[in-house]
A and B are shown apart, each in its own frame.
Chain A
C-alpha cells in the first residue's frame, strides 16, 4: 500500500477553472503538508495541518484553500487557476509536527498541474 497517495497524478486545465487535488496517508501520522515545486526544482511549503488544524500557512494566495476532513486526509482546492499555478504539488506527512524532532517527512508522488 502506498503510504502517501495523491490524486490526480496529472491535471491539465484552463485558466479560471477551479480544481482540487486529494491526499491521503495511511501511516497514522498527525501532521500533513502541501508543498509546491517550481520549474527550477525548488520545493516550498504551502500549508501544514496537525490533527485537522492549520498550523502553518505560508504566503499563498487566497485562491488556495486546504481542507482536512480528518487527520488522514488533506485536500488542496484551487480557485480561479492562473498560468503561474502550473507546478508539481506534493503532499507529505510526518508523525509529529515539524517543530519537534520528527526528522522525516514522507512525500507522495506528486500531482503535476498544467494551466493553459
Chain B
C-alpha cells in the first residue's frame, strides 16, 4: 500500500468547515483512498472512501486531486463531537492486503 502523510494536529472552530489534508504521492492506479476516525477510547469508525471522483455522504466529503496524489476530507460543519484522530489510508481493493493505520491527524474542534 502507498504511504500517506498527514499533519499531526489541526484545530477547527465549531460550526466551521474542517478540511483535513492527506498526501499520497506514491498512490497507484488501483488504490482507493479511505478515511476513518477514532474518537477517544473508541474503535475506529469508517467515514468515506473514493478512487478518483469526489465523494459525499452524510458524514463528510472527499475531494481527490486530479493527479490523485493528495486528497482532502471535509467536515462541512464541525461539531465538538467531531474531535478525533482522522486516518487517511490508501489500499488496493484487489490485493487482499489489510489496512495499516498511520499516525493520523488529531482534530480538535473548539467552541
**A44 contacts B100, CB within 8 Å?**
yes
A100 nearest in chain B by CB position: B93
- Expressed in whole angstroms, the minimum distance between the Cβ of B62 and any Cβ of chain A is 12
A108 nearest in chain B by CB position: B43
Which one of A14-22, A65-73, A77-85, A91-99 contacts B? A91-99
Q: How far is the CA of A92 from the CA of B101 in the complex (A)?
A: 14
Interface size class of B (residues with CB under 8 A): 20 to 34
B42 nearest in chain A by CB position: A109
Residues of A within 8 A of B (CB): 4, 33, 37, 40-45, 48, 55-56, 58, 90, 92, 97-110
Q: Is the interface of B mostly helix, strand, loop or mixed?
A: loop
Residues of B within 8 A of A97 (CB): 96
- Expressed in whole angstroms, the minimum distance between the Cβ of A23 and any Cβ of chain B is 11
- Expressed in whole angstroms, the minimum distance between the Cβ of A97 and any Cβ of chain B is 7
**A43 contacts B44, CB within 8 Å?**
yes
17 other contacts beyond A33-B98, A98-B96, A108-B43, with CB at 8 A cut-off?
A: A37-B101, A41-B101, A41-B104, A43-B99, A43-B100, A45-B100, A56-B96, A90-B44, A99-B96, A104-B46, A104-B49, A105-B36, A105-B44, A106-B46, A109-B41, A109-B42, A110-B42
Residues of A within 8 A of B103 (CB): 40-42
Residues of B within 8 A of A92 (CB): 43
Residues of B within 8 A of A (CB): 34, 36, 38, 41-46, 49, 85, 87, 93-104
- Expressed in whole angstroms, the minimum distance between the Cβ of B72 and any Cβ of chain A is 19
Q: How far is the CA of A58 from the CA of B100 in the complex (A)?
A: 11
Closest 7 CB pairs of A and B: A107-B43, A99-B96, A43-B101, A45-B98, A104-B46, A101-B93, A107-B44
